[in-house]
Chains A and B, each alone.
Chain A
Amino acid sequence: MIKKSHIPKLDDFLDGGIPEGTSVLFCAYPGIGSETFGYQILNGRLQEGDKGFIFTNVAEPSSIIYEFNKYGWDLEKNIDEENVFFVDGSSYFIGSPVMGKYSIENYSQIKEVVKKAINDVPSGVGVINNLSTLVDYLGVEETLETIHEWNEFAKLNKTVLIYIFTKWDYEEQFIDEIKSSVDCLVNVNTIEDRVIIGQGFMVVSSSWTTPSNEMALFFIIQPGGVRIYIPKILVTGPHNAGKSTFVKAISKKSVSVDRKALGKFKTTIAMDIGHMEYKGFVADVFGTPGQERFDLILDVLAKEAVGAFILVDSTLPETFARAKEMISKCKAEAIPKIIVANKTDLPGALTTEKIREIMKLGSDIPIVPASAREKIGINEAMDAFLALLYRD
């Protein structure tokens, strides 16, 4: 029997939800809090009338109750009604009073105590927060053995186990073993450039369905929890670099707000809007106007953008300074970006090396040769962009 995860989009990825008796690992890059996923699943299941528990070896139960309140979820009432309980593996170790149905005062007790907790919530859900802390207490081998035993026990009891895991700098082999110990792996990644500017989750493996390669970008709100959003991608660059054509080339659908300058050539006067869907990545695309008199729009368009394509006309190096100015005005220094060297098919087009040299760009910013009109290099540009976004 499959039950909803109560995480938006995750149920679509998982073919309806999470089957009873299975284990799900949320594997988060340091800097992203993934415990909200576990808490939101638990809260949803409690509202459906199921029972559950939280094993914590990080925050104390009182802090978790406080967090739940901030999300607008009433954990205390469920504790009072004996729908949910804590396995407190935190308080004793920091000298606070222990709280919960079970408590841990010695790490050697963990395996058996959690098994008791699983036994108490048949067809329910248990949240294990945090598996990575457990590793450094128990060691790699004992942790793996413990997970296997819990998962086997949970399967018999039809209890879903949700593991919260922070991917610190462990050996790759250990990470692989942890990942293969569970029925379903959800990666929680950052989108960053200097700092974290976004976060997304993706189902990497699942024993009951074939995962898509789609990443859902999300933010966490209080109250509310995990919320999905469609990210915004900027396409910017100097006048006549080919931005509108590029927006059309990467979008399934697009519209332009433009007019014919001097009655002859179209020029964008407000923006191009497109919707990009490529290899599971979905985004709204905003193409900025290139002329300086419309620069006031750039700041508005730049808000909440998670990445940018900077278009330059490969045949016109005199416009590169303007391109750099637009990177700055769009605040694109602080988001992942690639340079699309457009019109590469035209005579006099500079090589990407020459463009990098003139624009004084670091090697970390990819430059992709392309011709938006001839649809050359479009997929390469999008691949380079996704590689940057996902930090492949």
Chain B
Amino acid sequence: MTESASSKENWLRSLWRAVNIPTAAVLLAALIGAVILLISGANPLDAYSALLKGSFGSLDALSRTLEKATPLVFSGLAVAFAFKAGLFNIGAQGQLLLGAITAAVVGFGIHGLPPYIHIPLALTAGAIAGGLFSAIPGALKAYTGAHEVITTIMLNYVAINLTDYLADGPWKDTSPGNIVARTPEIAAAARIPVVAGIPLGFIISLGIAFIAWWLLWRTTLGFEIRTVGLNPHAARYSGMKVARTIILTMVISGLLAGIGGAVETQGVVYRYQPGFNVGLGFDGITIALLGRTHPFGVIPAALLVGAMKAGSSTMQFDAGVAKEITDVVQALILFFVAADMIVRWILRIRAEEGEKITLSTGWGQQ
């Protein structure tokens, strides 16, 4: 509704309004990152140019950036989608792990399928695993009021333990010589190919982002989700099933995170190995907020963070800077996006009225 009818002449202005804070946040974070680099005795210019070279400097680098960005689009979408119902899914990490290992099991456990069946089958399996796992905090929130922030974080630890157990137990790679916890490699037919330097998974992520947008702004379900997020009392008043909407939103969010894990397994790692997907779910928080919790905003945000990941090894190699500096910069980006009041204050940008999500109205309320 809101965007469909906003007049065309304001198009540029609203685009500016959508990107001014995130852009400023990224620049400010890079600036403070430079200061931290200086303090720790590195040359920020060298570091950042190496970072750029490693992420956009060549076709190879560009392809790597897209590859890194792909799971991030999904975890960003997962967090952003839940935000619309006023839910903070910090559990994208755990849902992603379960998606990754389930895609792996479908990938190595089944043989002889053609790729056009095996790839979507493994992706779907990963999505369902993530969705089911995410239904738990959804149901707990809807029926007991247990805050999803704590339950999803606790479930992250459960997921880590569970996948560790599976990769070290029943689904362990038993090939001779392997002593670490990991699953066997998935069948070639389950691997998502890279076409002309573009990982196919990235194209899929664009399609899913569009579907997420359509769902939120063009369907009655999306209207219910956004109403629950903005005013659950009014949602109840108008006959919406708030509990059902909360659970459904969490399931969809978990599905998105689950695909993210599956894409990582099928497009990059080709197996499940503990420790390979660490932090992807948490990156989703930064990406969702940087993308202003809008499905289309998530894509450039994921590309940015993906570029930082892709370039960090080059940076470490060329400039001798620990690649964890990108984590610091990311945290700073998150800080400045979340604390947009600071950015507004620095840049003298006026605050706007808009759909504002409140997450912290206490523990027991719904």
Say whether A and B bind each other: no
